[in-house]
Chains A and B, each alone.
Chain A
Amino acid sequence: MTGKPYDDIPGTTIFDAEMSRRGYHLNQFCMSLMKAENREAFKADERGYLDRWPMSEEQKQGVLARDFNGLIALGGNIYFLAKIFATDGKSFQWAAARMTGVPEADYLAMMVGGGRNPKGNRYKGKPD
């Protein structure tokens, strides 16, 4: 599918119909981590637990590597992916730092300083 109105927004994936279809099993795997016993099973054998789900190999590798940007491209939604980093005992701030490719301390400093400025971040390849 091409020509979505939000395609020109940089660094952003909209969880639309196409992404939702692509990520259904990945996101439902994430959902299973809402139960304590499933979190234990996943932590004990991540690969074995992932193999119970009809996900693509790429999606499984993305989970094992905690590659959240990669997983978003494969249909993962951040609120579902949050179950993975919650299982790891990590926060949204930690995950956001990871997705933006900076150390958490730097990310925290950016947020305390007022956050990422929208200037230059509205349109791909355009200052504004």
Chain B
Amino acid sequence: MARITAGLAMSHVPAIGRAVDTGMTGDAYWAPLFKGFEFSKTWEAANKPDVVFLVYNDHATAFSLDFIPTFAIACADEFAPADEGFGARPVPTVKGAPELAWHIAQSVIEQDFDLTIVNRMDVDHGLTVPLSLMFGQPKEWPVRVIPFAVNVVQYPPPSGRRCYNLGKAIRKAVESFPEDLNVQVWGTGGMSHQLQGPRAGLINSEWDKRFLDRIGPKPEELAAISHLEYVRETGSEGIEMVMWLIMRGALNDRVKEIHRHYHVPASNTAVGHIILENA
């Protein structure tokens, strides 16, 4: 049977992708950020999953205002890196896991979460930057990926509670898949950041660190955080952190923290990262 072994969370800032693509990871500005991922890359290589269920948000790339799915699961064989306005990132095509993706779609919809099913989609930095952080610059990505897009652009995004419960449904779906697969769930985005208006640049390290402290042992508390609190305390784009709760919901109630990293800034954003294993 397929099983979820670990959950990872990390920010997905576009400038991080640019730093990787242009060989700037050793620069004074970037080095402290990437240093915090050195352990993670080694750990990931030693615990390499077959499939990553990658929760991210599309940034007006695959989804314009014509269609705005709250939750979209991508079931295609592969996904091309998107041209986001300055040419596509020079990273490998992302290979999908269509059989498992379709199984999850069917199972989760039967558990009352009405997903949008996507058969053709380019993937933007929200999906490819986490892969770069964990795998560097390989010729091919070493894992298959199920892209799972959450709307956090058009207000309101789904609530943290809804995301947490969806994670639980995804776990049930994975565990009912007959093939023996090691699956990781990654929640990406965050932490505090605001990209717009006169309050741009807001960073709330204290709040972020409390979030990191609680994501393992006290996810129920985090699931109760309101949209208003996210926006007021962590900036208008900090609300992306609801996606971490999908990851957390997909894990056991008890988890073991393997690694944590927090760094300010990457461009406008506080970068947070955590690895949780099922206890």
Report the separation of the CA atoms of residues A30 and B207 in the bound assembly, to the nearest whole angstrom. 34
When A and B form their complex, what is the total count of cross-chain residue pairs whose Cβ atoms lie within 8 Å? Answer: 148
Chain B residues close to A by CB (< 8 Å): 14-15, 29, 59-61, 64-66, 82-87, 153-156, 192, 194-205, 207, 228, 231-233, 235-236, 264-265, 267-268, 270
Judge if A96 is at the interface, Cβ distance under 8 Å. yes
In this complex, the member of A10, A11, A39 whose beta carbon has the largest number of chain B beta carbons within 10 angstroms is: A11
Closest A residue, CB atoms, query B236: A12
Flag if B197 contacts A111 (CB, 8 Å). Answer: no
Q: Which residues of B contact A10 (CB under 8 A)?
A: 198-199
- Give the residue name and chain of the B residue nearest to A26 (CB): B65
State which of A45-53, A56-64, A76-84 sits at the interface with chain B.
Answer: A76-84
Nearest chain B CB to A16 CB, angstrom units: 4
Residues 97-110 of chain A, each 1 if its beta carbon lies under 8 Å from chain B, else 0: 00111000001001
Report which A residues bind B (CB closer than 8 A). 5-6, 9-17, 20, 24, 27-28, 30-31, 33-36, 39, 68-69, 72, 77-80, 82-83, 86-87, 89, 91-93, 95-96, 99-101, 107, 110-112, 114-118, 121-123
In the bound complex, residues from chain B placing their C-beta under 8 Å from that of A20 are 65, 154
- Check B204 against A72 for contact (C-beta < 8 Å): no
Contact indicator B201/A9 (Cβ below 8 Å):
no
A111 and B265 in contact, given A27-B60, A91-B15 (Cβ under 8 angstroms): yes
- The answer to whether A115 and B264 have CB atoms under 8 Å apart is yes
CA distance A96 to B198 in the complex (A): 8
